[in-house]
Structure 1
Amino acid sequence: MDSSTLSPSVTTPRSIERLVAGQPTSDGAGVRLVRLLTQDLQRRLDPFLMLDNFGTDRPEDYIAGFPDHPHRGFETVTVMVQGRMRHRDSAGHEGSVGPGGVQWMSTGRGLVHSEMPEQQDGAMEGFQLWLNLPARTKMGEPWYRDIDAAAVPVWQGEGVRARVVAGRTHGVAGAVERDTTEPLILDLELAAGARFEQPLPAAHNAFVVVYRGSALLGGRELARGPMVILANGGDGIVLEGGAAGARVLLVAGQPLGEPIAQYGPFVMNSNQEIFEAVEDFRAGRLA
């Protein structure tokens, strides 16, 4: 499909609200990463709960991986850029994902899983996004899917390649769609000077992360690294590739507007539900 087909028109583009540098930290058994979407931003970026960016070519920074740990009440979306990761969980799911692939897991009422590197050396890079579940489905059955790079739908425009992980762009449906939160997750590749437009409802929360090169938004150059929170309003998003082009993760979604109660790997709507999640885990009642 070329850029002349189903070309959207954004007349009032969103502006930049703020840049978030993120917090260098470690998780799992010592995996080094930058946490871009932290707990204090959950309300502002509802329905998204967390965004981690991991990226290193030092095996000692990732080789210990993420051994068995529990979850309840949300979905995890892992987008791999480089390297390979294997998933196993207590509900019987297992799979691996390589460069360009995606792992999508709905934790539902709860499970225990691990995410371990399938390599001893080389670069490991990617993003993990936590997407909240609405209260009515938090106790649903756990669900898991591996999506190979070749299975991620792609829209190709003039100087633009959009890998559609979730949602829709330019008439192309993503690998996963969700009715309530309507997540849009695009992995964009922009050539120098190439323009990409994405219509978006004014109330949907949205952010972008440039992870290669640089991009322009509202005339401002965005360099690699920070999460860029976009102001609500307008009718969409307009991005342009910088002098050397760019790779950009674009994320947006419809807020749930529900209470958020989080204790580590459990995200529910009340403290009582958190207590129950902890007790269920201790008693071995997760999937």
Structure 2
Amino acid sequence: MSLRPTIETRRAIPALEGAGVKLHRAFGFQDPSELDPFLLFDDFRNERPEDFIRGFPWHPHRGIETITYVLSGTVEHGDSLGNSGTLGAGDVQWMTAGRGILHQEMPKGNARGQMHGFQLWGNLPAAQKMTAPRYQDVQGTEIPEVIDDDGTRVKVIVGEFWGKRGPVDGIAADPQYLDVFVPAGVKKTFRIDTYRRAFAYIFDGTAAFADASAPGGVLLEKEVAGQEVNIRDLSGDRTLVRFGSGDEITVQAGPEGVRFLLISGAPIAEPVAWHGPIVMNTQEELMQAMRDLRNGTFISPAH
């Protein structure tokens, strides 16, 4: 076994998207090779409806997949293919834009006006960029959860983990998407296939991830359980952790436990030509997409 080093730990930064939705962006619109096959990750979490209610009106996508995971509140969605529906707390939508789709996503708060969800963009390889669009809408009740003896809980959204397989399938990046809770003071190791790029995103509680560059993969000078810990050694809410190569990560939960997403996928390693919600391989393909948008052929049945 080889421990993955922690390449970088950074906080998500505030951003404004759609028609004025306030969110935090962990990565996106930077170096697309950094977390290939993933392009962007947003945390849209608000306590006030005025910060999200205007939503994400009609906009195009081509050449990517968007993964929306709702924790609280709802998201009403519709698209140019005639699909519509509502994602509730715990639900997931995996949309493969393929050759082109127009859609909208309109968040609605819960009874207290709160909204929380995540959106991840995954790239498509050249051979699949012009495939037919498709949706996979998954209710939270369909997502398996594994509970370990120490209280660790893992929801398996995509991929296989601890003998359970997530309900979303047929995804180009062969990803693993896990929602993980580790109780206070517990140290836990998770396997990740060596060929995958991987990151964690902490959204509740605190934790430290072992660093292979430290002697013996040291987490902290003192273990958390039953001892006082310097809080500066722990990463907290809205923190992205990027990992290097290896086949496992180890996390030490802080005094109140930690909940994080653990996401990995197989790199595509192809050229990226990217403008907003359209991601192709060449500038000519990108220009063609813009022409298609202008002349009304963006969502035609064949290209």
TM-score, normalised relative to structure 1: 0.91
Hey, what's the Cα distance between the residues in 2 that align with 1:155 and 1:260? Answer: 37
1:203 and 2:195 are equivalent in the alignment: yes
Q: Return the letter of the residue paired with 2:67.
A: V
- Aligned residues between the structures: 276
- Secondary structure at the residue paired with 1:13? coil
TM-score, normalised relative to structure 2: 0.87
1:41 and 2:54 are equivalent in the alignment: no
Hey, what's the Cα distance between the residues in 2 that align with 1:91 and 1:179? Answer: 20
**Which structure is larger by alpha-carbon Rg, 1 or 2?**
2
Matches within 5 A, 1:178-217: 178=170, 180-217=172-209
Matches within 5 A, 1:124-163: 124-158=115-149, 159-163=151-155
The CA deviation at 1:147 is 1.1
Flag structure 1 segments of 5+ consecutive residues without an equivalent. 1-10
Hey, what's the Cα distance between the residues in 1 that align with 2:188 and 2:85? Answer: 33
Hey, what's the Cα distance between the residues in 1 that align with 2:117 and 2:202? Answer: 12
Deviates more, 1:197-206 or 1:24-33: 197-206
Q: Which residue of 1 aligns with 2:78?
A: 88
1:250 and 2:262 are equivalent in the alignment: yes
- Secondary structure at the residue paired with 2:185? coil
Hey, what's the Cα distance between the residues in 2 that align with 1:282 and 1:174? Answer: 39
Report Cα offsets for 1:217-250 as digits up to 9, x if no partner.
1115221122111122x22122232211111011
Deviates more, 1:217-226 or 1:144-153: 217-226
The CA deviation at 1:54 is 1.0
Give percent identity, aligned residues only: 39
1:281 and 2:272 are equivalent in the alignment: no
Q: Which residue of 1 aligns with 2:253?
A: 241
- Secondary structure at the residue paired with 2:30? helix
Deviates more, 1:18-27 or 1:55-64: 18-27
Given the alignment, which residue of 101, 104, 118 partners 1:114?
104
Hey, what's the Cα distance between the residues in 2 that align with 1:126 and 1:238? Answer: 25
Hey, what's the Cα distance between the residues in 2 that align with 1:141 and 1:13? Answer: 39
Asked if the contact 1:81/1:99 (under 8 Å) is kept, the reply is yes
1:229 and 2:230 are equivalent in the alignment: no
Flag structure 2 segments of 5+ consecutive residues without an equivalent. 211-218, 220-232
The CA deviation at 1:153 is 1.8
